[in-house]
Amino acid sequence: MTTAEITAEVFKREGVRHVFGIPGGPSIPYIEAWRGAGVDFVLTSHEAAAAIMADVTARITGKPGVCHATFGPGAVNLASGVGGALLDRSPLIALTTEVPQKMRGRTTQMGIDHQQLYRPLTKDTVSLGPARAAGVLTSAFRTAAAEVPGPVHIGLPSDIAGISAGRDEIASIAGNLNQRPGRGSRAAAGDIAGALRLLKRARRPVVAAGLTAVRCGASELLKEFLSETPVPVVLTPMARGLIENEHPCYSGVLFHALSDRIRPVTDSADLIIGIGYDPVEYNYESWIPGVPVVHFSTVETDMPQGLEAVQVTGDAGSWFGLLMEAGMSGDFLTGRGVQKAVGEMADTFNELGMKWGPVCVLKTLRRGLSPQAVLTLDVGSHLHLAGQYWPATAPGKVIMTNGWSTMGFGIPSAIAAKLVMPVTDVVAVTGDGGFLMTAGEMMTARRYNIGIKVVVIADRELNLITVKKSWRHLDAYGTQLIEGDLFGSDSFLGVPVFSADSEASMQNAIKSAMNISGPAIICASVTGDDYRKLIVRQ
C-alpha cells in the first residue's frame, strides 16, 4: 500500500464519508485513493468553507470531519475555518500539502511553515511520513475526539503519496483501528465536598447549561433533574434545544436578543450551577451577580480571579448523580420572574412580528417549515434574533458558531448538514454580509445538487456593527454594503432567487423554494431598525 492508500484505508475504517477542500497537484493521488475507498472528495469554493463543512459534519455524526488544502495560501485559508473547530469544540482533521523534508527552511514558491501556522489553532500538528502513516493518522483521530474535542493538523509532504509502506506499517492498520476506545463512564472528580456544601445551602440557584452539555447528551438527564428540582435554566447560544422553550424552567438564552429581560432571574441567584458550561461562549464574569459557581464539565477550565468557584469533572451522569446526592429542595421557581422574562420576550417578538421586518421573516419561515427542519445561522444581528426567538425542539436543530463567531458560517454549515441528513429540510439564515463572504458555495450546492435553502435577511449593511456604532452615537460609516436590491436578478450562479418584501411574498417565496429539489435562495429585503430594540449592549 502507498501512503495515499493508507490514508484512504484509515479514513474508511474511521467512518469518514467526505473530505472537503480544494486540491493541488500533489493531492491527486490522495483524492484518487479516497475515491477508491468510497470516501468522496467534495470540491468547495473556498478552503475556509471546507473546514466549516468538516466541523459541522463532526457535530452531527460524532466522528471527526476531514478537510484539505494545498500549500501556502490554501493552508492559510483553511486555517480560518480550523480555528472554528478549536473554539466551537469540534473534532476535525485538517490536511495540508507541505513542502518535502529536503526543502524545509529553503526559499520556495508557496512555501511557509504549516506546522508553525497551525500550532496555536489545533490540539496537535504533525507531518506525515510513510514509515508510520497509519499510527500517526489513527492517533490524530483519537486526539481530535478526546475531551475537549478539537482539530488536529496533518501535513502531507508533497513527495510521499506514492511511497510504499512496509509490512509492519500495513499490519498496524488493522491492529490500531480495531482498538477504538469508547468514551466510557467517568466518575465525578474535583472538590466534591465543596460542591455539596454550596448546593445544599443554595436557596435561589440558577442552572446555566452550555455546549458541553449538548456534546455529552445531557438533555434528558437535565429534564429528569428539573422534574425533581425545578430550577430556573438559562442556556448559552450553542446549547439551544437542551430543554424546550415551553419548559416551565426555561428562562432564555444568554447574550442574545432581549437577554436583559433575563437579568432579574440571574440577578436573584445565590448560586450558579454550570452544567456543561463552556466559558468560550460567554465568560461567567460577564453576567453572574457575584455569587458562587459550581461548575460541572468534562475537564477543568480557567475561572476568573476573585470568584468563589468549585469545579467537578466527569461525565454527564456523574454531574447529575452529585446534584441528586445534594438533595436540593425548595420552591426554586416561586417569585423568580421566569414567566415574566419569557413572557416579555414573547410579547416583544410578537409586536415586532406584526409588521414586515426580520422578526416577521423568521416568523413566516417557522410556519413554512416542518418541525424536523434544521436551521443553520450565520453571524450578525439576525443571529442574536434567531438565537433567542427560534424554537429549538432538540439539540442540533439550530447550528451556529459562537466560540469562533465567524461570518460566512451559515451556507457551508447548511451544505454539510444536508449531506449528512439528506432527507431533512436544511435552511441557512444569513445576512447579506455573511452571504457575500461565502457566496461561491452556492456553486458547491449546485454542483452536487444539495437542496439547501438559503434565506438572506438583506438589510444592505453590516447591521450588528451599525448598532454597536449607534451606542457610541456614531453614524454608519464603513458598514454600508449596497444600495438597492442585493441580487437584481431571479438567479445567482444558476441558483433560483425568490424575492420577498412582505409577509405574503415571503410565504410565496418559501413555498416556491421548498418545491425545488436543488438549492434555492430567498432574499428578504428589510430595514435593520428592529435590531436596535432587540440587541442588548453587553
Identify the pLDDT of residue 515: 97
What is the C-alpha separation between 490 and 500, in angstroms, rounded? 12
Question: Within this chain, do residues 167 and 285 fall inside the same structural domain, yes or no?
Answer: no
**What is the structure's pLDDT at 104?**
75
Residue at 183 is within a domain? no
What is the pLDDT at residue 183? Answer: 54
Size (the chain), residues? 538
Number of H helices, E strands in the chain: 21, 20
Please check whether residue 69 lies inside any domain of the structure. Answer: yes
Q: Specify the pLDDT at position 131.
A: 82
Among 304, 337, 370, identify where a domain stops.
337
Of 157, 177, 197, the position where a domain reaches its end is 177
Query: What's the rounded Cα separation, in Å, for the pair 5 and 404?
Result: 34
Residues 333 and 370 in one domain: no
Are residues 385 and 266 part of one domain? no
Do 133 and 244 lie in one domain? The reply is no
Task: Let me know if residue 94 belongs to a domain.
Answer: yes
Q: Identify whether residues 361 and 267 lie together within a single domain.
A: no
Q: Does residue 343 lie within any of the structural domains? A: no
Same domain, 276 and 397: no
- Are 167 and 248 within one domain? no
Q: Are strands 124-127 and 65-69 parallel, antiparallel or unpaired?
A: unpaired
22 with 120, same domain: the answer is yes
**For residue 458, is it within any domain?**
yes
Residue 164 is predicted with a pLDDT of 86
Nearest Cα neighbor of 403 from 86, 61, 106, 164 is 86
Q: Which residue segment(s) compose the domain that 78 sits in?
A: 3-177
Residues 56 and 98 in one domain: yes
Let me know if residue 342 belongs to a domain: no
| Domains held by the chain: number | 3
Q: What letters, b where the CB count within 10 A reaches 16 and e where it falls short, cover 299-318?
A: eebebeeeeebbbbbbbbbb
| Residue numbers of the chain with a pLDDT score lower than 50 | 181
Q: What is the pLDDT of residue 167?
A: 63
Residues 160 and 105 in one domain: yes
pLDDT at 42: 98
Asked which of 126, 146, 177 is the last residue of a domain, the reply is 177
Domain-embedded: residue 150 = yes
Q: Residue 25 sits in a domain of what CATH number?
A: 3.40.50.970
56 with 152, same domain: the answer is yes
DSSP secondary structure letters along 221-278? HHHHHHHHS---EEE-GGGTTSS-TTSTTEEEETTSTTGGGGHHHHHT-SEEEEES--
**Whether residue 163 sits in one domain with residue 15:** yes
pLDDT in tens, 462-518: 999 999 999 999 999 999 999 989 999 999 999 999 999 999 999 999 999 999 999
What's the CATH code of the domain at 315?
3.40.50.1220
Secondary structure (DSSP) of 298-333: SS-----TT--EEEEES-HHHHHHHHHHHT--S-TT
Here the contacts of 174-179 (C-beta below 8 Å, separation 24 or greater) are 176/134, 176/135, 176/138, 177/10, 177/13, 177/14, 177/134, 177/138
- The answer as to whether 144 is a domain residue is yes
